[in-house]
Amino acid sequence: MLDIASKSTNIDEAASKIIPYGTIPLYDYLNGIGNICQIFNIYVITGIFTLTVSQGFYAKPNILNTEMLSTGRIVGEDVRETIDPAPEEMKKIYTLMVLVRAADIQAITLQRQGRIGFYVPCQGEEASQVGSAYALKPEDWAFTDYRAPGIVITRGMSLKSFYAHLMANSEDNTKGRSMPSHWGSKALNIVTPSSPICTQLPHAVGVALGAKMKGDKIATIAYFGDGGTSSNDFHSALNFAGVFKTPTVFFCRNNGYAISIPVSRQTASSSLAVKAVAYGIEGIQVDGNDALAVYSVTKKALEKARNGGGPTLIESITYRMGPHTTSDDPKRYRDDGELEEWKTKDPLNRLRSSLEGRKLWGKEDENNAQEWAQQQVKEAIAHSEKIPPPHPRTLLEDVYSQPTWNLQRQLHQLSEELGGS
């Protein structure tokens, strides 16, 4: 019999091991470096958690509380370990990011033109989404929120399925039941999300516990935003995962804002990753605009999970370049200058310059990738717009395993109302 409860962490003991940081002027160091994204520093806080940083992440101190840095609580050895994907894979990650960007921009256009009802854009988060999802194995389970284009496309969702869902047509495997931007797919191990914040986290813990009990070496990953760390189920899930040491990766995309509310209004904690400490699990910060860094920390966390090392909280620091949704106007709460500054850290430019620096990518590759992505998007939209909506009877299906008498009656009434169709 498997002992699923792990022993608890002694926080006091761990805290006593914190050595004051005082050797690297980290804040200046981070700001002073350009787009050399392959440089990637990991700082270990002895006995508690790993803090992973690469350049640029603290570029906006008003977005992130730099308290942890200025008070010198970052300590430990600088291990500088990364798992770089093979060159061909790096190129694939970049190409996926180009595709996601193209699909995302076109989805916003479709909404503005009234061709879809609603959309949750992901521009700026491509490195966090694609980089982390690329580290997953097909048998791993992904639990997303609604800002997930990069995740679902990286997991293998076709653009036809992607747009079928946005258009809520009869090729939408979720049958047009949710607002757009709630992609799910059993075939791709992406559990269809809801809209409430972080309610998917306990499910990721439950699947992981089930896998652990069955002895299956898989991991689950749960995605959420910075605002989610204030939610009830963030606590519920991390606490449970810590106690039962489940193979779960909690992937927080800290994009600076929960709609209009900055991270400083979510927590007085010195970071989001530090919250892991109290749950007795590992917390990691990563530059979320650095796809290779994101890939690396996620891959390590997933492998640790599959090998019985328990859960990890990853705080991926990024920026939502667009609105919260197509119903939002970020000009009401964000300075233009902020966006302009983050544009210089665009995750696509970051990875492209890295690939160029490694002599893996040239102008022709770029032109080909852009052209290919545009073509994919165009074809998928042209196809999806020809597809009719789901049959009205689907409105009354899938409530229960078998329709109850009242659903049968209501289907009959609807059928009559629609002239027996």
Partner 1 sequence: MPSLTLVQAINTALREEMQRDEHVLVLGEDIGKNGGVFRATEGLYNEFGGNRVIDTPLNESSIVGVSIGLSLYGFKPIAEIQFLDFIYPAFDQIASELSKLRYRSGGEYKAPIVIRSPYGGGAKGGPYHSQSLETFFTHIPGLKVIIPSNPYDAKGLLKAAVREDDPIVFLEPKRLYRSTKSEVPDEDYIVPIGKARVAREGKDVSVFAYGAVIPTVLEASEKAQQEGISTEIVDLRTLVPLDLEAVLASVKKTGRAVIVYEAPKFMGYGAEIAALIAEEALEYLEAPIARVGGFDTPYPYAHENLYMPTPTRILNAIKKVAKY
Q: Which is nearer to partner 1, 367 or 413 (CB)?
A: 413
For 33-54, what is the HEC assignment?
Answer: CCCCCCCCEEEECCCCCEEEEC
User: Per rule CB under 8 A, is residue 230 in the interface with partner 1?
Assistant: no
Is residue 130 left, alpha or beta, with left meaning phi > 0 and alpha meaning psi from -120 to 50? alpha
The residue from 101, 320, 334, 352 that is catalytic is: 320
Exposure string of 14-30, with b = 16+ CB inside 10 Å and e = fewer, is: beeebeebeeeebeeeb
Binding mask 111-150 for partner 1 (x = CB under 8 A): ------------------------------x---------
Q: Which of 210, 259, 360, 366 binds partner 1 (CB under 8 A)?
A: 210
Q: Which of 90, 153, 167, 209 binds partner 1 (CB under 8 A)?
A: 209
Please name the residues in contact with 33: beta carbons below 8 A apart, sequence gap of 6 or more: 39, 55, 56
SS3 78: strand
Please name the residues in contact with 332: beta carbons below 8 A apart, sequence gap of 6 or more: 260
Q: Mark whether 146 is an active-site residue.
A: no
The Cα–Cα gap between 50 and 247 comes to: 17
Q: How many beta carbons lie within 10 A of that of residue 406, not counting itself?
A: 10
Is residue 198 left, alpha or beta, with left meaning phi > 0 and alpha meaning psi from -120 to 50? left
Q: Which is nearer to partner 1, 3 or 88 (CB)?
A: 3
Q: Mark whether 333 is an active-site residue.
A: yes
Q: Which residues pair with 185 in a beta bridge?
A: 190
Please state the closest distance from residue 248 (CB atom) to partner 1, in A.
9
Tell me how far the alpha carbon of residue 407 is from its chain's centroid.
37
Q: Which residues pair with 43 in a beta bridge?
A: 51, 78
Q: Which is nearer to partner 1, 211 or 348 (CB)?
A: 211
Please state the closest distance from residue 137 (CB atom) to partner 1, in A.
16
Q: Which is nearer to partner 1, 134 or 251 (CB)?
A: 251
User: Per rule CB under 8 A, is residue 172 in the interface with partner 1?
Assistant: yes
Q: Segment contacting partner 1 (CB under 8 A): 20-28, 128-136, 174-182, 317-325?
A: 174-182
Please state the closest distance from residue 258 (CB atom) to partner 1, in A.
17
User: Per rule CB under 8 A, is residue 95 in the interface with partner 1?
Assistant: no
# residues contacting partner 1 (CB under 8 A): 53
User: Per rule CB under 8 A, is residue 158 in the interface with partner 1?
Assistant: no
The residue from 165, 324, 334, 352 that is catalytic is: 324
Please name the residues in contact with 13: beta carbons below 8 A apart, sequence gap of 6 or more: 47
Contact 41, 11 (CB under 8 A): no
User: Per rule CB under 8 A, is residue 39 in the interface with partner 1?
Assistant: no
Q: Which amino acid is at 229?
A: T
Q: Which of 84, 303, 338, 397 binds partner 1 (CB under 8 A)?
A: 397
Q: Which is nearer to partner 1, 51 or 204 (CB)?
A: 204
Q: Segment contacting partner 1 (CB under 8 A): 96-104, 191-199, 307-315, 368-376?
A: 191-199
Q: Mark whether 320 is an active-site residue.
A: yes
The Cα–Cα gap between 58 and 61 comes to: 6
Q: Which of 182, 253, 334, 350 binds partner 1 (CB under 8 A)?
A: 182
The Cα–Cα gap between 156 and 123 comes to: 19
Q: How many beta carbons lie within 10 A of that of residue 151, not counting itself?
A: 30
- Annotated catalytic residues are 320, 324, 333
Q: Can you give the binding site for partner 1, defined by CB under 8 A?
A: 1-5, 141, 172-175, 177-178, 182, 184-186, 191-192, 194-196, 199-211, 213-214, 220, 232-233, 235-237, 239-240, 243, 397-401, 404-406
